Amino acid sequence: MSQASTSPHHPTSKTVTFYYLRHGKTEFNRDLIIQGGRVDSPLANEYLYLIHDTTEALKNVQFNACWCSPLKRAQDTARMVLGNRKIQLQPTEDLREFDFGSIDGKPFKNNRFNFISSYLMQDFSRFGGEKRNDVCRRIRRIFEHMYTHASDGDKILVAAHGALVRYLVWEFMDGSACTRSWKSHTVKTPNASIGLIKAQNGRFTLLTTPLCAQELKQRFSEYLH
pTM equals 0.93
DSSP state of 175: S
pLDDT at 7: 43
The domains found in the chain, sorted by start residue, are 3-99+132-223 (3.40.50.1240)
Cα–Cα distance list, 49 to 77, 80, 85 (Å): 11, 11, 20
pLDDT digits (tens, 9 = 90+) for 40-72: 999 999 999 999 999 999 999 999 999 999 999
pLDDT digits (tens, 9 = 90+) for 150-177: 999 999 999 999 999 999 999 999 988 8
CA distance 128 to 144: 27
